[in-house]
Every structure is written in C-alpha cells, then in structure tokens.
Structure 1
Amino acid sequence: MQHTESNVKFIPVPGGTLAYEIAGQGPPVLCLPSMGDTRREFERSAPLLIEAGYRVITTDLRGMGQSRGNFAAYTIQALSADIEAILEAEHIERVFLVSCSISAASAGLFALEHPDRVLGLVMISPMVYTAPNMLVPILLATSLRVPVLGRVIWASYFKSLYPLHPVEPDYLEGLRTNLKQPGSMKSVAGMLLAPRLDERLAQMNVPTLAYFCTKDPDFTNEQGVRETATKLQHQIPAAEVVILDDLGHYPHREAPERIMPKMVSWLRALSGSPAVNEPTI
C-alpha cells in the first residue's frame, strides 16, 4: 500500500490535520504505526489485509508523515481521540484496530473507552507499560529535542529495531527527511514520555491478539520480552499472546510471512466472513 498524493485524505483535529489512506473493501481495519514512523510502516502488511477482504485505513500519527500542525499533546488520550476522529470522518461504527508500539496503548485506551466500537484489537510490540524509572526516557526525550543530534540519535536507534532484515536505505532516508519537518521530533519525544495503560489493561473487554518479539530492543533482553508478555496475558486472560523468535520491533515489515497468516485468520474468525480470501505470502 505505497501511498500516492492522489488518494490521501486529510481531516482537521484540534491543533492540526491528520492524513490517512483507505484501500480495499470489507470490514474496516485501522492500522496505527509506532512513534517516529509513518504509515509506510504497513506497506508490506496492508496489501495482505486488502487481499484477504478488508477495507484498510493507514494513518500517520500526529506530528509525523503528513499529519501536521501545532499539537498541544502527544498523550495516548490525544492519539485515541485521533482514532475517533478518523472513524467519525469515515462514518465507521465498528472497526478492527491493528496497532504497533505506542499505538497499542492508544488503541487499547480507545478499546477500553469504546468497547462497542472495536471488533478486535491487534497489538504488535505493544508498549503499554510506563517505564518504572522515567529518568532514561526523560534524558532521551531531552536529547531528541536537540536540533540535528535528535535526528541522528533516532535514526541510529531505528536501525536497531530491524535485527533480522536490516531496514532498507531508502526507508531510512525517507524517515530522516520526515524527521526534519517542524514538530516531528517534538512528536517522538512527547510520545516517548506519555504515560501508558499499565493496570488499566486488566479492564480490557474486547478480543485481543498481542505479538511480542524476542529481539525487540525496546526491551532489555529476551527475558524482559517474555516477562512482559506473561504480564499482559495475566491481565487479559482471554487475549491470545504470540511470541515471535528472532524478530524486532516491526515484524509486520521485517517478516510479514511470520505474522500475517495468523493475524488474518484471527480477524476472519471475528468478522464471521468465510468469503474473504487467503492472503498470498
């Protein structure tokens, strides 16, 4: 789902404008990227969802990509409000949410506050717990706001998120270009410091599928990944929790063949649509 200017939609929200694209027909799936990335994150997974019979929306988070403005906040509450704004603009009553990283927290919040509107919640590499010690995030956020240095730090870190298949040079260059736009690093720093869901996860009452990856550098080590996966499973007993070995923060780009067949079958079971197609992977 490589975006083109002709099919991008823009809607106003407090402080700026959100950009998103829609393709395909069928039950709606809203794909929400991680902090510091754009909707291109889903370029290898969205086509498989479209092929499987879904109407797929990919969006840029506030302050990134083409979602621009002077936003007052980058909290999960603000990001959740953006989800609602897109659904309202498209007259969508109920939706599947596919979320990565910080977006798993905002999509989770939306599901907690609007369970009747969420058909199912997919969380990829979910960052749903506030750091027990905020000193490191605060120091990092401060560094990210320094002109030039912040972009260098983020680009270097971003490369570590793809341990199995290195991120392509053109993707990384596009990200660097995007981060030069006014407000981009403010967006990344703001989301980095945003409090997460933490104990509220225990109130989750929508079908949930969560993916964790053993080589995700957002966790201290593999043990940390597995402990967090166990914690989430304990809080949401009905959730299906999957641990993927050797993949990093972006399994849906790094190795879609490892994540998408399961996701599609899970969505199909919830959408009750046996007519949808098998994705070609």
Structure 2
Amino acid sequence: MSDQTQYLDLPGGRLAYDDGGEGQLIVCLPSMLDTRSQLRFLKPALIGAGYRVVTVDQRGMGETSADWPEYGSTPLAHDLMALLRHLDAGPALVYGCSNGAAAAVYAAAEAPELIKGLVLAAPFVRDGKAGLAQKLTMALFRIPGLAVPLYMSYYPKWEPKRPADFDEHAAQLKANLKQHGGGKVIASYMSMSHAEAEARLDKVTAPVLVIMGTGDIDWPDPAAEAEWVAGRLDGKVVMLDGAGHHPHAEFPAEITEAVRAFDAGI
C-alpha cells in the first residue's frame, strides 16, 4: 500500500487519508484539532507489527477540506463508516483518540459489521462537566483572532512527555489551522457534544480496549474515567504512567504492544 495521501469525496467535503502496510486493517483517528501526523510514531510501529494502517485527517484539518456543513464526533463517525466501506477490507480495528473515540463508538454501534475491535485512547465518549474556568476558556475560543493563539498555548499541556520533534509538529499544526481559517474550525469543535456516542454505548458489541494516561489533564481523575468507559463497554484498561491526551505521541511502542495483545485475544 502507498503512503501517499489519498482522498475520499463525501457529501460536504473531501476526506484525506494515507494507507500503508499489509495485514489486519487498523484505521487510526487523531484527536480533534490536530492532523494525522499526530500519529507519526504509532503508524510505523503498527506497520512493523504487521498491520495495514490507515490514518485520517478529521474535517477541517490537515489535507482534508476545510469547509464542511458540520464538525465533531458524530460527523466523524459517518466519515469513518464511509471510509471503511470504501476500503472494503473486512472488519477493521479502529484506534480513536479523544473525539475519535466517540466516533469509533458511534460507528461500532451503527455498523457493527465494519468493526472488529475498538482501541479508545484518551476517550471522550460523553460530555465532561465543565467548571467556570473551563467555560470561560471555551468562550474565549469563539472570539475571532484569539482562537488559534489560545489553542496553541494550551496544546503543550496535552503532551507532558513531549517527543523530540514537538516544536516542529506544533508549528506545522499552527500553520494548518491558519490556512484553514482556524477560528471557525476551532469554535465548531469546541462546541461539539459527544452525547450521541454516549447514547449508543450499550449498543456496542465489539471488543474494547481503553488506553489512558495518568497525565491526561482533560479529566480530573483519568483512571476513574477510563474505568467508567471500560465498564460501560465491557472493555479492558491500559494505564500509561505520565502519558497525556495524545498517548501515541509519547508511548507508541507501549501502545503498539497493547494493540497486538488486544487483537490476539479477539
């Protein structure tokens, strides 16, 4: 398979992805408001472990088109289902991070024939309870001109164990956001809800692995959230000591091994 960017035309826009390796298909979704290069360490590790790996740019990000009627985890779920049908490679593993986990849950509930198993990293599969400070921050994200610099100032908190090329990746992400009119895209993602994923948790029959970092600042108690998600989905939990909200950027080898063990047990 080629690592070159490929495209899937969908109602409302064009989805960008790449496709490499041979073997069991695993489709990997990065967290919201980041490009698929967030998965730059996990992808070669999974290919080396014998997987065919597809990584996807979410709506408004990377090489996926910028203007869509809507953004968020539910639209991403529909994009994921369309891509899996397009790839036509049999039931796939899906690795979804953050809102990508919500999309994976939605897809598994609505199209179980497409999904072999779910690996949910730093999963948002329900709406968190925002405090006053978080609500004020979210409001600032909606102010034109403030969204991109504010988002980029917050971004380092998601990777407490930063990879060596962190600054380079962050600069590329900032440029991509500006290129795509980032203020609108950021505001759209910041106002999304994961309620539709939560409403479908009991419909998921695929095996589930939850991966969470102890340093994930998006939850007051990451371990408790991981256990809640796993409990609702009858899944297993892997906790990564010190990992943040993008664990694959910090611990790709550990995640690859967890995926292999999970897949072997399905």
TM-score over 0.5 (shorter chain): yes
Check whether the contact 1:15–1:69 (CA below 8 A) recurs between aligned residues. no
Check whether the contact 2:213–2:244 (CA below 8 A) recurs between aligned residues. yes
5+ residue gaps, structure 2: none
User: Judging changes above 3 Å, is the alpha-carbon distance between structure 1 residues 199 and 90 closer, same or farther for their aligned structure 2 residues?
Assistant: closer
Match of 2:238 in 1: 242
Cα offsets for 1:23-67 (capped at 9, x unmatched): 011111100010111100111011111111111101100000011
Cα offsets for 1:180-218 (capped at 9, x unmatched): 023434333323322212353233210100011111111
Match of 2:174 in 1: 176
| Letter in structure 2 aligned against 1:102 | N
**Structure 1 SS opposite 2:171:** helix
Of the three residues 243, 246, 258, the one matched with 1:262 is 258
5+ residue gaps, structure 1: 271-281
Match of 2:115 in 1: 118
Counterpart Cα distance in 2 of 1:234 and 1:91:
31
| Letter in structure 1 aligned against 2:107 | F
Counterpart Cα distance in 1 of 2:173 and 2:55:
17
Measured after TM superposition, the shift of residue 137 of structure 1 is 6.1
| Letter in structure 1 aligned against 2:11 | P
Check whether the contact 2:212–2:247 (CA below 8 A) recurs between aligned residues. no
Report the TM-score, using the length of structure 2 for normalisation: 0.90
1:180-195 matched pairs, under 5 angstroms: 180-195=178-193
Of the three residues 41, 45, 54, the one matched with 1:48 is 45
Counterpart Cα distance in 1 of 2:168 and 2:118:
31
Give aligned-pair identity as a percent.
32
Match of 1:277 in 2: none
Match of 1:62 in 2: 59
User: Judging changes above 3 Å, is the alpha-carbon distance between structure 1 residues 111 and 9 closer, same or farther for their aligned structure 2 residues?
Assistant: same
User: Judging changes above 3 Å, is the alpha-carbon distance between structure 1 residues 127 and 23 closer, same or farther for their aligned structure 2 residues?
Assistant: same
1:72-91 matched pairs, under 5 angstroms: 72-91=69-88
1:233 pairs with 2:225: no
Matched length: 262
Match of 2:104 in 1: 107
Check whether the contact 2:98–2:122 (CA below 8 A) recurs between aligned residues. yes
Match of 1:274 in 2: none
